[in-house]
């Protein structure tokens, strides 16, 4: 059997929606984007939303909209996808790394407090794997003027104490990349309750221009535009935005399926050497990925074993500070990130998506039980009433 890491669930009828946009004659950011942005505001309880071409470009646009640049520092976790740090460098600021909590793998708020300097302008907490950082607690260790930019690429459906991304931070940024819980292939979005940030963001997603294409030709006449701030090219076109509309109406159904599959994994790994992050009380995880930790330096061998059996396991992620760009940067300390480094050397992610069939998951679990765990010198997974185990 072959079990892919991810299989999208966009129906063939999505082509009809794309055809509607093509027939409208307007392909870039227009009414379909505005419709989805209204949906996002309703879902997240925020006053403003802006669709972007990716999480990365959305983050660059947010940093530019906040005026963050050379001479500024932005605190980021050492355990995250490299884009979280890269966007800080792209605007000329300096990423300051801190380690993560060993149980949750979320940014260690105590270490954030210690990392703040007079140059700190923002913190980017990462809702890793779908579990939200405690944003009110993070806010409590920062000066009022330091911005909190939530990396919610994994956390579209996530909640903590009933609060959602974007409600307590200054902005939350989502990803609609091909393997995300909500997808249009490539894309992202920013939600915020900050009216000034939202106004600046409308410009920084379009080179800093004061009017988008839809506004430049409103009323049937050309309208002059100006540029007063530096921007990037980060807008999402209607051609992709239209794929999001129906998905936003069914996110809770897909989350329930992800939760069922994730719990099935967790129950099967209890009592084995394979580690999984702790989901804290009061948290609803978006369950974007299902990571495990393989001890003893055996991760790469285990991943090869899974891949050789047709299972699409992958690594999410190695510690950012261990990647050559940052490992060779003299401004990045060579120690201080033991949790991130240990997790990054042992973690891999198993297939997890709503369309994953139980027989496919059973196959993954059987390979782990009968091939992987014995090779680690562990005890076999206990019988737990799951038919295939």
Whole-angstrom Cα distance, residue 70 to residue 356?
45
Residues 168, 135 contacting (CB under 8 angstroms): yes
**pLDDT tens series, the chain, 389 aa:** 999 999 999 999 999 999 999 999 888 999 999 999 999 999 999 999 999 999 999 999 999 999 999 999 999 999 999 999 999 999 999 999 999 999 999 999 999 999 999 999 999 999 999 999 999 999 999 999 999 999 999 999 999 999 999 999 999 999 999 999 999 999 999 999 999 999 999 999 999 988 776 666 666 677 788 898 999 999 999 999 999 999 999 999 999 999 999 999 999 999 999 999 999 999 999 999 999 999 999 999 999 999 999 999 999 999 999 999 999 999 999 889 999 999 999 999 999 999 999 999 999 999 999 999 999 974 433 433 333 33
pLDDT at 216: 64
Three-state DSSP state, 99: coil
Give strand ranges (E) for the chain: 48-52, 73-77, 94-98, 120-123, 147-151, 159-160, 171-175, 188-192, 283-284, 290-293, 347-350
Whole-angstrom Cα distance, residue 81 to residue 152?
12
Give the C-alpha distances (Å, rounded to integers) separating 318 from 102, 251, 341, 368, 386: 15, 29, 7, 22, 32
pLDDT at 219: 67
147 assigned to active site: no
Q: Which of 50, 121, 180, 202 is catalytic?
A: 180
Whole-angstrom Cα distance, residue 68 to residue 90?
11
Whole-model pTM: value is 0.94
pLDDT at 386: 32
Whole-angstrom Cα distance, residue 303 to residue 348?
7
């Amino acid at each position: 059997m072959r079990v892919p890491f991810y299989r999208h669930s966009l129906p063939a009828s999505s082509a009809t929606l794309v055809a509607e946009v093509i027939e409208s004659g307007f392909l870039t950011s227009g009414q379909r984007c505005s419709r989805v942005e209204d949906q996002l505001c309703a879902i997240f309880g925020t006053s403003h939303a802006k669709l972007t071409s990716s999480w990365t470009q959305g983050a660059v646009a947010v940093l530019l909209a906040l005026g963050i640049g050379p001479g500024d520092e932005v605190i980021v976790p050492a355990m995250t996808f490299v884009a979280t740090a890269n966007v800080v460098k792209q605007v000329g600021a300096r990423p300051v790394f801190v380690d993560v909590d060993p149980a949750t793998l979320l940014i260690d708020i105590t270490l954030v407090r210690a990392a703040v300097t007079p140059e700190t302008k923002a913190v980017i907490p990462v809702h890793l794997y779908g579990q939200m950082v405690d944003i009110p607690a993070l806010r409590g260790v920062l000066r009022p003027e330091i911005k909190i930019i939530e990396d919610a690429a994994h956390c579209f459906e996530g909640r903590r104490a009933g609060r959602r991304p974007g409600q307590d931070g200054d902005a939350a940024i989502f990803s609609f990349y091909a393997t995300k819980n909500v997808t249009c292939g490539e894309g992202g979005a920013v939600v915020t309750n900050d009216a000034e940030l939202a106004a600046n963001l409308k410009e920084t997603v379009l080179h800093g221009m004061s009017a988008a294409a839809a506004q430049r030709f409103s009323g049937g006449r050309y309208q002059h535009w100006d540029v007063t701030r530096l921007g990037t090219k980060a807008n999402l076109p209607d051609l992709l935005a239209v794929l999001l509309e129906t998905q936003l109406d069914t996110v809770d159904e897909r989350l329930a399926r992800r939760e069922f599959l994730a719990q099935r994994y967790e129950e099967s790994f209890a009592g084995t050497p394979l580690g999984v992050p702790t989901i804290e009380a009061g948290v609803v995880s978006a369950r974007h990925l299902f990571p495990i930790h393989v001890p003893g330096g055996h991760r790469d061998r285990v991943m090869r074993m899974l891949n050789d059996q047709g299972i699409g396991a992958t690594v999410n992620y190695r510690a950012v500070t261990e990647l050559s760009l940052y490992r060779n940067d003299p401004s990045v300390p060579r120690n201080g990130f033991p949790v991130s480094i240990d997790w990054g050397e042992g973690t891999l992610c198993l297939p997890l998506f709503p369309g994953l069939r139980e027989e496919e998951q059973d196959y993954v679990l059987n390979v782990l039980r009968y091939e992987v765990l014995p090779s680690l010198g562990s005890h076999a997974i206990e019988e737990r009433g799951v038919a295939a185990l």
